[in-house]
Structures are given as C-alpha cells and as structure tokens.
Structure 1
Amino acid sequence: MALNTKIYFASDQHFGAPTAELSFPREKKFVAWLDEIKKDATALFLLGDLFDFWFEYKTVVPKGFVRVLGKLAELRDAGIPIYFFVGNHDLWMEDYFQKELDIPVYHTTQEFTFNDKLFLIGHGDGLGPGDKGYKRMKKVFTNPFSKWLFRWLHPDLGIRLAQYLSVKNKLISGDEDVVYLGEEKEWLVLYSKRKLETKHYDYFIFGHRHLPMTIKVGENATYANLGDWIGYFTYGVFDGEKFELKEYKNL
C-alpha cells in the first residue's frame, strides 16, 4: 500500500467497563479522535478490546456503543479502510462488523506492507512465552462447544455474567500484570525477537499490555505497544516514513 497520508492504530478501549455510565466519557473522547483523523487517514487499525465484552448471538449483539459504531460507519462510508483484530475481551466477534460496517475482522496476526515497510499486526494476547493463565482460558473460550453452550443463555443473563467476570476476574481478562517487566521479560518483545530469527519485520504493532512503549528489537526493527484508552489515551501513527506513539489530549 503506497501512502501520502497517515495510517492510525488504536487498541484497548474496553468500552462498557467498569460500567456504561463511567465508560461514556471515554467513548466520547474516542469518537472525537476518530472525527479528527478522518481528514488525513489512509487506514485505521483497531487492535482489539474495543469493547470490554462482546458476543454475537444469531440475532442479538450487546446494546450500546452507538456513537462509536456510527462514527466507524461514517469513516468507512468516506472510503477509509478499517481493520479490526479481536482481543481477549471481544474474541467472540464474528461477522457483525463485516456485514454491517464493511470492516474485516481478524482472529490472528496479519502482515501488511506500507511504503516497503513490513508490519506484523495483532492484539498480542497469547503470544510469546508468558501469559500462561490466559492461554489456558483462551482454549476454553474459543472452543466451539463452549460458544454453543454460552449461546443458550438468555442475552440478559449471559452478557451480565460475562461483564461481571470481565471486570472482576483478572485471570480471565488476561490483564493481571500491567507494569513494565523489562525488555528481557516482556513476552511480546521476546515474541518479536523470535520472529526476527526467521523473517525481517520493520514494525511489530500490538495492544493487550495497556502500556504505551516502543522498543528496538533488532536492526531496523521496532516493537510498539499502543497502550490503552483507559488511562493513557495513546495511539500509533505511521506517516509513510516512521511510526510514532502519540497521546490524544483533547476533551
């Protein structure tokens, strides 16, 4: 993909947490950011956990988030490509975004090339040598039988139960440790270095850790974590030459 404007990246908004009321100001701030980037965005990448919980029944999706979904629809209608990667909180997303918003949904890391720079992009959950508790739980959550059982719960019960577990149980959320562990212990840094052993990437872009950081992981190779929209309000931008992390301070 050739560039003459900018590609934007954001992750871990967790809208709906800890309550819809407390989440609302963050949603308004995110929508304002989406409105601002519309003027020069070549593409937008959302790297998971946009919602603190999301499950698609055959005819039902969680209510709320109208402003966010409407603004994403507006960007797509303006011709801006949007790519969505499921996180550990919205991993049960299926085809709603694709059908309603024309936004492709990815469940695994993907490669993209921009101006001859190779990017490896994903949410980041379950990658690398750590995150063992979540890796075990993810196998349960993504099992087709588990999803089939959950679908039998009435949405009022199922969504309320899932929201409670998402907020209260840090093992299930995968976010039990949000302090910087050091370059030799950050498992997404280790994952990036391991990938470089077999193929060169210019940038590894992930979310999940909730900590904004950029770390050199090899010659001309950078790992970046996008932070979150809970305490940091950070995002990434690639202008065709370099990638930067920035903080959105408006509102």
Structure 2
Amino acid sequence: MDSTKKIYFASDQHFGAPTPEDSFPREQKFIRWLDFVKKDAEAIFLLGDLFDFWFEYKKVVPRGFVRVLGKLAEIRDSGIPIYFFIGNHDLWMDDYFQKELDIPVYHKPQEFTFNKKSFLIGHGDGLGPGDKGYKRMKKVFTNPFSKWLYRWLHPDIGVRLAQYLSVKNKLISGDEDVVFLGEENEWLVQYAKRKLESKHYDYFLFGHRHLPMEISVGENSKYINTGDWITHFTFAVFDGSELSLQTFVE
C-alpha cells in the first residue's frame, strides 16, 4: 500500500428500500461518502446488499440507482479498484458490474493481504452455525434452474414481487435479529473462531448484521462488522497498520 492511502469497506445500503423516494436521501449521502473517500482510497470494498433487490435479466437490470452507479463508474475509471461482494438481497447479481463498471463480483468470502495483514472478507449471510431456514432458502434461490424460471417472469412482475418479499420475508430481510446477541450467539463470531482453528487471519470483515461491531476472536485477530447505511452510516478503514470503524459525519 501507498503510505498515504487507505482501504475503505462499507455494506448494507439497501438502496430502494422501503421505497425509492425514502431511499434517495441515503443514496445522496452515500455518494458524498464516496466523494470523501476517493481522495485517498487505495481501494474500496462493498460488502453486499448495496441494493434491497437486484436481478439481472439477459437484457434488463432494475430501474433506478443511476447516481450511485455513475459515481462508482467515475471512481473506477479514475483507477481506484472497487470490489463487490453479493449479499442476501442482491444475490442474483451476475456480470453486469464486471462488464459495465469493471468491478469484480464475489459470491463467497475471499482472502486478501494488505501490508502483511491477512483479511477474510465477505457479506456474511449463511456463515457459521444456525440460520438453517435461510441456508435452505439460499440454496433454492441460487440454483441455476430457479434463476432460469424466474427470468420468465416479466420484469415489471418479477421486480415488484421480489421487492415485496425482500421487506416482508424475515428470512430474506434478516430484520428479526438486528440486536446484539452476545458474542456466544453471534454466528459470524463463531464462524471466525472456527476458521482460526485451521488458519490465522488478522481480520474478519463482514456486513449483513446491520450492527457495527469490533470483537476480538483470538490472539491478534478481530471480527469487524461494517454496520449499515440505514441507521448507522458506518464504515471500516484500513490505514496500512490498523483496521477501525468510523461513522460518516458531514
């Protein structure tokens, strides 16, 4: 890393929820954050659920989010790498970001090393013990045959149905557990501790829980959750030596 640069991480913007009109001020705030971090960003990681719903038909993507997509394109065209991890709300993302924005899309947690610090990075859904209902549902939703069937719905029907379910279905929205459960019950904490049994990581970095968290999970290992852009407006930043949580305050 350039000693004057930083790496930024954010997740769970859920743009489009609960309505496009309500979401728009949050989109504007996120764009101002992107303008803020691009000044010294070595790279930007988006850890999933950027949209409350996203589905890529062969020739159609959901309407809206033009300013967000335009800002990501501007930053990427300036030479700053951007990495995207799908979440449980945008798990039907395919290659649109890669082809249109030159932003790689990851469907599973990935390992990265920055300045000799090891990171395991992902969205966080379906990891660790428990959450069996969602795990079963995810297998159905990500099945290629299920995606093929869904494409036969007209986009006006398919998008409206999915937007409704993303809010009403607790397995999808995850709203029922947006409280701190204690270290022994936080699934991602347990996941990190189990991973450490076979390999050391300095940092486990996830979203999904909508709660900014910084928890020691082992000797010289931390689990950090980036929170959300609905109520917390938090993000993580790595300055080359330490990873910390911050709140975007204008």
State the TM bucket, normalised to the shorter chain. Answer: over 0.9
Question: Is the 1:133–1:174 contact (alpha carbons within 8 Å) kept by the matching residues of 2?
Answer: no
Hey, what does 1:245 align to over in structure 2?
Answer: 245
Task: Confirm or deny that 1:191 pairs with 2:191.
Answer: yes
Change (3 A) 1:113 1:227: same
- How far off is 1:2 after superposition? 5.9
Change (3 A) 1:243 1:213: same
SS in 1 for 2:149: helix
Hey, what does 2:109 align to over in structure 1?
Answer: 109
TM-score normalised over the length of structure 2: 0.98
SS in 2 for 1:145: helix
Deviations 1:30-85 (A, max 9, x none): 00000011110000000000000000000000010011000000110110000000
Hey, what does 2:69 align to over in structure 1?
Answer: 69
> Map of 1:146-225 to 2, 5 A cutoff?
146-225=146-225
Hey, what does 2:29 align to over in structure 1?
Answer: 29
Hey, what does 1:6 align to over in structure 2?
Answer: 6
Deviations 1:70-108 (A, max 9, x none): 000011011000000000000000000000000000000
Question: Is the 2:85–2:123 contact (alpha carbons within 8 Å) kept by the matching residues of 1?
Answer: yes
Question: Is the 2:2–2:42 contact (alpha carbons within 8 Å) kept by the matching residues of 1?
Answer: no
- How far off is 1:164 after superposition? 0.3
Q: Distance in 2 between matches of 1:234 and 1:172?
A: 22
- How far off is 1:138 after superposition? 0.3
Q: Distance in 2 between matches of 1:162 and 1:107?
A: 20
- How far off is 1:169 after superposition? 1.1
Q: Distance in 1 between matches of 2:155 and 2:241?
A: 46
Question: Is the 2:184–2:190 contact (alpha carbons within 8 Å) kept by the matching residues of 1?
Answer: yes
Q: Distance in 1 between matches of 2:188 and 2:50?
A: 20
Q: Distance in 2 between matches of 1:81 and 1:133?
A: 35
Structure 1 outlier segments of 4+, above 6 Å: none
Q: Distance in 2 between matches of 1:20 and 1:114?
A: 37
SS in 2 for 1:176: helix
TM-score normalised over the length of structure 1: 0.98
- How far off is 1:171 after superposition? 1.7
Q: Distance in 2 between matches of 1:13 and 1:30?
A: 8
Question: Is the 1:12–1:48 contact (alpha carbons within 8 Å) kept by the matching residues of 2?
Answer: yes
Change (3 A) 1:55 1:210: same
Q: Which moved more, 1:54-63 or 1:165-174?
A: 165-174
Q: Distance in 2 between matches of 1:132 and 1:41?
A: 38
Q: Distance in 1 between matches of 2:86 and 2:164?
A: 20
Q: Distance in 1 between matches of 2:3 and 2:146?
A: 43
Question: Aligned residues, how many?
Answer: 250
- How far off is 1:173 after superposition? 2.4
Q: Distance in 2 between matches of 1:43 and 1:3?
A: 13
Deviations 1:165-212 (A, max 9, x none): 001111232342111000011000000000000000000000000000
Q: Distance in 2 between matches of 1:10 and 1:173?
A: 18
